[in-house]
A and B are shown apart, each in its own frame.
Chain A
């Protein structure tokens, strides 16, 4: 097993848009250790979303190797990719992306449903996580009945439900006010202290201070701030 939880070598991603090819990622090599808190920064179109999607196993590289927690995602099937995603990655989105028809508890339990297990175990784990994000009393509420900050906490709890090694947070504070955003960031920092590897994709320079590594992206290439 590699010492890196994310081990990217010479990653290139080319999108075909009509007749012209667009090189979203150009020969990216990036290695992230377990327990790192990495901020990935860069303007729109710099390739940070593409990098996120590939690390998140939502997309596959055109060339190069990407090894996520020991799994080479270039060579696995769609089903295996979904399985890796479910087990190893916890997603946090800018718009929270909770399922509106489900209660908070059921949203948290959803990733566990796709991996199997008994309902009793899932409900117990979801209730624990609900407590961890401080929303025990909101278990039966639907997302529309929750504030933005509360929704993002539910989303964080959901990201943790399969106990993944990597948390991918894509502009997690983008739809929140500053104060609430700070609270969410503190929650992420706490998770990092528990050993989770955290990748934070953001425009907001103010969030750099929470990370121990800052990666800048521009035109599909990465450079690291020291």
Chain B
């Protein structure tokens, strides 16, 4: 008998095709938007987290800025000396440390017979030590690392193609680097970096990337020196470091800060009195990003849930209208033997079917919609160029949300149908039969 009443409900819905369809749309949009928001949101989250996966889990960046609970790095002044690098390297919980000096370039040039190509201006070269490769998880595809004091550089794949894909640079090629102070320095390409599968600092901060030894490229640059006229020393803006293992990231951080804040560090002497030393760990970066992303996710999920609620109100509204419109039919059914439970079921099935159908169609639409959204985002990312053009957002469906959205769809169907169905079931058959 339940099956018969279910079929009756289905047939009634078939008779009111447009009405059923419009009500369905409300639920479909609600469920689809929940799926789309959670899928696209999840996909973008993992993409962004990956983009900021700059270091190993043990990695950290040391600089100056504002300390406290939410430390902020401001890459302005050069404060860390070679002496500081050595001292930090000797701390027990520090595995490796590498300095990072910024050498802004105007142009990259190459002589090829009589021809000379120039790259676009605005590229940045980083002065460091071979330890940098380990900290940033970079590998050489060919060649070797540069030697300190020699005119040698290591370049990224992007730089290798800076003169065109058809004229790539090779290990052994000579290039000329024109700094922003107009000084042009000769450099031999000794190594080319392997394109890293995940994003790293070098394609995140600057494309293309060139890594050079401090001497001669950075030490002769006017922006690299601190101290008095009598005693000028080369110093770096930031240091990159790795803790010995993931358990000791906090210990390494504490030790580094303790050293820097002590009177024994050069950096303490050179830093601006108003700024603090700041150590930002990879773990902290990821935690912060996750915090920001979860706020955004919560916000858009709330919006999607609101549209689901609107779908529910749509069902309730249409069911009330249907119940009122069919009052005399309800009276007739009661007169010919329908129990209150039968009437209740009849209307509840209809709203449940709408919720179920809407949930299923919404899931399918939401799944294809999120594919479309992620595809669109990826196209926009490619157009953005620069920092983020290296990655693509991977579509990451969250299966639990399909289940949640379908169940919520059905529940909404039931919940929205309960009141109208009860109204129908509670009718006085005498009054209902007289209804015009």
A residues contacting B by CB (< 8 A) are 53, 56, 58-59, 78-79, 82-83, 85-87, 91, 93, 97-102, 110-111, 113-116, 119, 158-159, 162
Q: Which residue of A79, A99, A158 is within 8 Å of B329 (Cβ)?
A: A99
Known contacts A58-B430, A58-B433, A119-B4; A97 and B332 CB within 8 A of each other: yes
Residues of chain A with a CB closer than 8 A to B295's CB: none
In the complex, B387 has a CB within 8 A of chain A: no
> Any chain A CB within 8 A of the CB of B306?
no
In the assembled complex, how far is the CB of residue B401 from the closest CB belonging to chain A, in whole angstroms?
Answer: 36
- Which A residues are CB-close (under 8 A) to B338? 82, 86, 114
Given B11, B339, B429, B433, which contacts A114 in the complex, CB threshold below 8 Å?
A: B339
Given known contacts A82-B337, A85-B336, A91-B332, what 17 new A-B pairs fall within 8 Å (CB)?
A59-B430, A79-B339, A79-B340, A79-B341, A82-B338, A83-B337, A85-B337, A86-B337, A91-B335, A93-B332, A93-B433, A97-B335, A97-B433, A99-B332, A101-B14, A110-B333, A119-B4
Interface size class of B (residues with CB under 8 A): 20 to 34
- Give the chain B neighbours of A58 by CB distance below 8 A: 334-335, 429-430, 433
Determine the chain A residues whose CB is within 8 A of the CB of B365 once the complex forms.
Answer: none
Q: Are B333 and A99 in contact (CB-based, < 8 A)?
A: yes
Q: Which residue of B lies closest to A95 (CB)?
A: B328
Inter-chain CA distance A86–B332, complex, in Å, is 11
Asked whether A101 lies within 8 Å of B12 as measured between CB atoms, the reply is: yes
Residues of chain B contacted by A114 (CB below 8 angstroms): 1, 333, 336-339, 342
**A97–B337 CB distance below 8 A:** no
Which one of B11, B332, B335 lies within 8 Å of A101 (CB-CB)?
B11
B15 within 8 A of A: yes
Closest to B16 in A: A101
State how many angstroms separate the Cβ of B431 from the closest Cβ of chain A. Answer: 10
Q: List 23 A-B contacts (CB under 8 A).
A: A58-B433, A59-B430, A82-B334, A82-B338, A83-B337, A83-B339, A85-B334, A85-B336, A85-B337, A86-B336, A87-B337, A93-B433, A97-B328, A97-B329, A97-B331, A97-B335, A99-B329, A100-B15, A101-B15, A111-B337, A114-B339, A115-B337, A116-B1
Q: Does B187 contact A (CB under 8 A)?
A: no
Q: Is B5 an interface residue (CB 8 A)?
A: yes
Minimal Cβ-Cβ distance residue in B for A50: B430
Task: Please give me the residue from chain A that is nearest to B8 by CB atom.
Answer: A113
B302-329 vs A, Cβ < 8 Å mask (1 yes, 0 no): 0000000000000000000000000011
**B interface, by DSSP: helix, strand, loop or mixed?**
helix
Q: Which residue of A lies closest to B338 (CB)?
A: A114
Q: Is the CB of B5 within 8 A of A82?
A: no
Binding site for A on B (CB under 8 A): 1, 4-5, 8, 11-12, 14-16, 328-329, 331-342, 429-430, 433
Shortest B26–chain A CB gap in Å is: 22
- Collect the chain B residues with CB atoms within 8 Å of residue A83's CB: 337, 339
**Inter-subunit contact A85/B335 (CB<8 Å):** yes
Chain A, Cβ-Cβ closest to B429: A58
Residue pair A102, B336 in contact (C-beta under 8 Å): no
Alpha-carbon distance between A171 and B342 when the two chains are bound, in angstroms: 28
The reply to whether A53 and B430 form a contact with Cβ atoms under 8 Å apart is yes
Separation of A106 and B336 alpha carbons in the complex (Å): 13
B335 with A56: CB separation less than 8 A? yes
Cβ-closest chain A residue relative to B336: A111
The residue in chain A whose Cβ has the minimal distance to the Cβ of B3 is: A119
Collect the chain B residues with CB atoms within 8 Å of residue A87's CB.
337
B15 contact set on A, CB distance < 8 A: 100-101
Bound: A100/B328 CA distance, A: 11
Shortest distance from the beta carbon of B433 to any chain A beta carbon, whole Å: 7
Report, nearest first, the 7 A-B pairs whose CB atoms are least far apart.
A86-B337, A101-B15, A114-B337, A97-B332, A111-B336, A82-B339, A58-B429
Minimum C-beta distance from A15 to chain B (A): 10
A52 to B4 CA separation, bound complex (whole angstroms): 30
> How many angstroms from the CA of A87 to the CA of B8 in the assembled complex?
21
Whole-angstrom distance between the Cβ of A90 and the nearest chain B Cβ: 8
Contacts of A99 in B (CB 8 A): 329, 332-333
CA distance in complex: A58, B332 (Å): 11
Q: Which of A56, A85, A100 is packed against the most chain B CB atoms within 10 Å?
A: A85
Taking CB atoms, residues of chain A closer than 8 Å to B328 are: 97
Q: How far is the CB of A124 from chain B (nearest CB, A)?
A: 15
Rounded to whole angstroms, the CA-CA distance of A8 and B334 in the bound complex is 23
| A113 touching B4 in the complex, CB below 8 Å, given contacts A58-B335, A99-B333 | yes
A116 to B337, CA, bound (A): 11
Chain A residues whose CB sits within 8 angstroms of the CB of B4 once the complex forms:
113, 119
Least Cβ–Cβ distance between B430 and chain A, in angstroms = 5
Chain A: minimal CB distance from B347 (Å): 14
**How many Å lie between the Cα of A10 and that of B67 in the bound state?**
94
| Distance between Cα atoms of A158 and B338 in the complex (Å) | 14
| Chain B residues in 8 Å Cβ range of A78 | 339-340
In the complex, what residues of A have CB within 8 A of residue B329's CB? 97, 99-100
Minimum distance in angstroms from A50 CB to a CB of chain B: 9
Q: Specify which of A101, A116, A119, A158 is in contact with B336 (CB 8 Å cutoff).
A: A158
A91/B336 contact (C-beta < 8 A), A99-B329, A113-B5 known: yes
Cα A110 to Cα B4 in complex, Å, equals: 10
CA distance A79 to B333 in the complex (A): 14
Least CB distance from A38 to B in Å reads: 19
By beta carbon, the residue of chain A nearest B332 is A97
* A110 nearest in chain B by CB position: B336
Across the interface, which residues of A come within 8 angstroms of B340, CB to CB?
Answer: 78-79, 82
